[in-house]
Amino acid sequence: MKQILPSPFQRKILIAISGGIAAYKICEVISTLAKAGAEVRAILTDSAQQFITPLTIATLCRHHAYTDADFWQPTHGRPLHIQLGEWAELVVIAPITANTLAKIATGMADNLLTNTILASSCPVLLVPAMNRQMWQQNIVQQNWQNVLSHERFHGMATVAGILACDLPLKEREDWQVGSGRMAEPKQILAHIESLLHTGGKRDLVGKRVLVSAGGTREHLDPVRFIGNPSTGKMGLAVAQAAIHRGATVMFVHAPIKTELLTLLPDEVEGVSVTSAEQMRQAMLERFSQADITVMVAAVGDVQPAQYYDYKLSKGDLPTAIPLKQCADILAELGKIKQPPQFLVGFAAQTGEILTPALQKLEAKNLDIIVANPVDQVNAGFGSDTNTATLMNKRGKQVDFVGCSKLKLAHHLFDFIEIDN
């Protein structure tokens, strides 16, 4: 059964902004959501308006931006915080400051934002930003953990980086940059997409998920190699989906652009490799720790039989390059898999994709295979969207056409949950 999926953002999203310099980052989030077809409403606290204006946010939302001035006005219908709380399918508080965090942790309701939180029942995504000393205070961390212990609240970790309150550049010698910086807009958008799909469930809490990504490179000399066009986007999406559902993730990747790697939180164990053999070693070292392994990487099938440790001149390049087989990592993992470990493979195919994918599913002792038609437009290597057929060893098959790679990753974990 084929499913053509709409934009993941065509939902009702309430953005709440509290007072911090990071408030400027939320403009990109709101603009992207609105362009993608979301209904976006926004609340600004009084302190948020010291950094960004309601006019700016209203223009990006294509709707009036609410403030406490609206909250304290008499209404001719139901109270504003009740209306907004019931309307929203997801609330995002970004940035959330130490002050707003403390209010939510203690159940206070003294402004429109906090009243709306108490009047809602949908998932709430908290995106903190503050000075590193403030963020590291025991009482702030206690409030953070207290809020996140409640099922409907989801948190994004702060990231390391230069903060607006940091020391001048000339005073930073031997000074370690710490956490406190708000997550970037692309990270926030990915988490929003995940929560809209899952409804906030954390079905992978306590699970360790091992993901491989990217395309390996088999070098002839230091500058030439046999490779493939894989960018690592699909593997990255699988890692993000697992994290957003509560898993601990181990991420083994071939060369991937740094800007993509920054989409993963700092606490993810990332292992960088280049060749198929290096990936094999990294995967084998971690496989026994994994409850679920998703082998997304496009691993080389062959490598030059001889490696030259210096750059060959153009005249010295061989007219024919003898090749030898690379190790079949997925088959090796399938042989050593122990119950209840779960193993997923990807089959990048052209033409008729199902028959070779099913053969791979059986031959390599997989639980699920993802058949991926890489010769189709906006599917496979390098694209932001994907088309795939998910198949398990009991013959169940589901097709997804033209969805985001993160959405496909969530459908994969839904498929795993059903299969288990």
257 is known to lie in a ligand binding site: no
Class of CATH domain 208-419: alpha beta
List the chain pLDDT tens, one digit each, 420 residues: 444 445 678 899 999 999 999 999 999 999 999 999 999 999 999 999 999 999 999 999 999 999 999 998 877 678 999 999 999 999 999 999 999 999 999 999 999 999 999 999 999 999 999 988 899 999 999 999 999 999 999 999 888 766 666 555 555 554 445 678 899 999 999 999 999 999 999 999 999 999 999 999 999 999 999 999 999 999 999 999 999 999 999 999 999 999 999 999 888 999 999 999 999 999 999 999 999 999 999 999 999 999 999 999 999 999 999 999 999 999 999 999 999 999 999 999 999 999 999 999 999 999 999 999 999 888 888 899 999 999 998 999 999 998 999 999 999 999 998 666
**Checking DSSP bridges between strand 39-44 and strand 65-66, what pairing results, if any?**
parallel
**Residue ranges of E strands in 47-170:** 65-66, 90-96, 124-128, 153-155, 159-160
201 is known to lie in a ligand binding site: no
| Phi/psi at 112 (5° precision) | -65, -40
364 is known to lie in a ligand binding site: yes
Neighbours of 226 (CB within 10 A): 17
51 is known to lie in a ligand binding site: no
Residues contacting 98, CB < 8 A, separation 6+: 130, 134, 135, 137, 140, 143
165 given a catalytic annotation: yes
For residue 365, the model assigns a pLDDT of 97
Give the active site residue among 27, 61, 122, 165.
165
For residue 7, the model assigns a pLDDT of 65
For residue 71, the model assigns a pLDDT of 93
- The token pair at 384 is 């932001």
The whole-angstrom separation of Cα 212 and Cα 252 is: 5
pTM: 0.92
Residues comprising the chain, all counted: 420
**Fold match between 2-198 and 208-419?**
yes
For residue 150, the model assigns a pLDDT of 96
Architecture of domain 2-198: 3-Layer(aba) Sandwich (3.40)
314 is known to lie in a ligand binding site: no
For residue 14, the model assigns a pLDDT of 98
Q: Are 29 and 44 in contact (CB under 8 A)?
A: no
For residue 164, the model assigns a pLDDT of 63
| Phi/psi at 66 (5° precision) | -90, 145
Rounded to 5°, the CA angle 96-98-102 comes to 100
What residue segments make up the domains of the chain, in order of their start?
A: 2-198, 208-419
Strands lying side by side in the sheet with 397-404: 2-4, 397-404, 385-392, 368-373, 342-349, 292-295, 208-213, 248-253, 269-272
For residue 39, the model assigns a pLDDT of 97
